[in-house]
Amino acid sequence: MAATIKDVARVSGVHVSTVSRAFSAPHLVNPATRSRVLAAADDLGYRPNRAARALTTGRTFNLGLIVADISNPFFPPLIKAAQAQARGRDHHVFVADTDEDPRVEEELIRTLAKQVDGVLLCSPRLSNKVIERLAEDVPFVVVNRRIGGMPSVLMNVAQGAGLALDHLAGLGHRRIALVCGPAGSWTSNEMQAVATRSQGLDLISIGPNPPTEGGGLAVAAEVAACGATAVLAYNDLLALGLIEGLAAMGIEVPEQISVIGFDDILPGRLNRPKLTTVAMPAAAAGRMAVDLLLQSGGEGTTVTLDTALIVRESTGRART
């Protein structure tokens, strides 16, 4: 006969309710006790009946995770960290990709709302107004967007942009191009807000642009023509595409123009020149977003994670 929850309780020497909590709310169980319960369950071949639990608790023990572009190397570390954190709390994660399309994003949210206990919305392209309306149907945690009253995990873009601009200014750059991302992007808005507060810099905003390598290639001629000696790009993919486009025009990085990206993705470390970038704590954001979504009383909580400037080979002194 298949093992039951009572068998697990008997073998591990705890009450049935403790076994139930070990699977459904592991953060409420002493780690040593939970380990003993899980070991007993494993020995007995016991697996909790998720359908029965859903009927009795009204919960699915599933979470949705929606990203703007799963092919962007920024997102996989966040996804893997969120999945591991959720698994540790006995939840599964359904991952969906919007392909940078707000209409697809809204459709996915409406579909997932019927199947999950909450949604992690990463770098959303929908307006705040639409997200607030959709939040009436399913709990959200938003990653890298501040929406009043809604729990969110922010990576400190303003901190990173400030470090990047200070680095460029220290190298003698005064005319700097901000190559922005999608229209309405929170990250782009944060970059521009920091730039407008910077003293002694002549800043040119270029965009909106697709946050892709192709977007960087497409904007290379405009960057070359604007007279900037340095660029701060919305993300690493844009920066890498821009470097490629400039190289095709015979413009060398960093000898003739310096380039900084955002994210610290692996291709930037492998590129020649290696990309100077603002490292974004994607994995930490994924873990924190899961914790916020599952904790009670997390409404309106905002967690801000530090960013850091990683100086490599794509920045150099301004040409004289």
Please give the full DSSP string across 233-244, using - where no structure is assigned. Answer: ESSHHHHHHHHH
Tell me if 294 sits within 8 A of 149, measured CB to CB. no
Q: How large is the average pLDDT for residues 102-118?
A: 92
Question: CA 262, CA 279: separation in Å to the nearest integer?
Answer: 6
Q: How far from chain centre, in Å, is Cα 224? A: 31
CATH 1.10.260.40 domain span(s) along the chain: 5-48
Q: Residue 198's pLDDT is what?
A: 85
pLDDT of 135 strictly over 70: yes
Q: Tell me if 201 sits within 8 A of 169, measured CB to CB.
A: yes
pLDDT for 177 = 97
- Mean of pLDDT values over 294-305: 78
Segment 269-286 mean pLDDT: 96
Query: Cα–Cα distances in Å, from 175 out to 23, 32, 228?
Result: 57, 58, 5
Looking at per-residue pLDDT, the higher value among 129 and 60 belongs to 129
CA distance 223 to 96: 34
Residue 240 to residue 282: CA distance in whole angstroms: 19
pLDDT higher than threshold 80 for residue 153: yes
3-state secondary structure (DSSP) of residue 175: strand
pLDDT digit string, tens, across residues 281-295: 999 999 999 999 988
pLDDT score of 311: 98
Retrieve residue 27's tokens: 């953060």
- Give me the mean pLDDT over the 33-47 stretch: 88
> DSSP class of residue 27?
G
- DSSP code, position 157: H
**What is the reported pLDDT for 55?**
45
pLDDT of residue 212: 95
**In the structure, what pLDDT confidence band is assigned to residue 298 with cuts at 50, 70 and 90?**
low
Q: Tell the residue number behind the tokens 């191009």, with chain if given.
A: 177
Of the pLDDT bands very low, low, confident and very high (cuts 50, 70, 90), residue 204 is very high
In CATH terms, 62-155+283-305 corresponds, of 3.30.360.10, 3.40.640.10, 3.40.50.2300, 3.30.365.10, to 3.40.50.2300
Contact 178, 206 (CB under 8 A): yes
E strand spans, the chain: 62-67, 92-97, 119-122, 140-143, 152-155, 175-179, 202-206, 230-233, 258-263, 276-279, 302-305, 308-310
- In 3D space, the residue among 68, 69, 62 whose CA is nearest the CA of residue 83 turns out to be 62
Name the percent of the chain lying above pLDDT 70.
Answer: 95
Residue 53 confidence class, pLDDT cut points 50, 70, 90: low
Check whether 57 has a pLDDT greater than 60: no
Distance CA 120, CA 182 (A): 20
| Contact (CB, 8 A) for 286 and 80 | yes
d(CA 235, CA 190): 13
Q: Would the pLDDT of 59 be above 80?
A: no
Residue type, 65: L
Say which residues have a Cβ less than 8 Å from residue 31's Cβ, sequence separation at least 6: none
157-281: CATH, from 3.40.120.10, 3.30.360.10, 3.90.1150.10, 3.40.50.2300: 3.40.50.2300
Counting every residue, how long is the chain?
320
Q: Distance between CA atoms of 206 and 219, rounded to whole angstroms?
A: 8
Q: Does domain 5-48 have CATH number 3.90.380.10?
A: no
Residue 297 pLDDT > 60: no
Segment 177-193 mean pLDDT? 91
Given a contact cutoff of 8 angstroms between Cβ atoms, the answer to whether 38 and 18 are in contact is: no
Reported pTM: 0.81
Instruction: Give mean pLDDT, residues 216-239.
Output: 97
**Residues forming beta bridges with residue 231, ordered by sequence position:** 177, 259
Which has the minimum average pLDDT: 6-15, 56-65, 168-177, 266-275?
56-65
Which pLDDT score is estimated for 50?
Answer: 60
Q: How many Å apart are CA 210 and CA 260, to the nearest integer?
A: 17
Average pLDDT, the chain: 91
| Over residues 131-156, mean pLDDT | 91
Per-residue pLDDT, averaged over 72-83, amounts to 96
pLDDT at residue number 45: 86
Between 39-53, 136-150, 253-267, 304-318, the lowest mean confidence (pLDDT) is in: 39-53
Q: CATH 3.40.50.2300 in the chain, residues? A: 62-155+283-305, 157-281
Q: What CA–CA distance (Å, rounded) separates 155 from 142?
A: 11
Closest C-alpha among 56, 51, 60, 16 to residue 37: 16
More confident residue, 23 or 312: 312
So what's the pLDDT on residue 86? 93
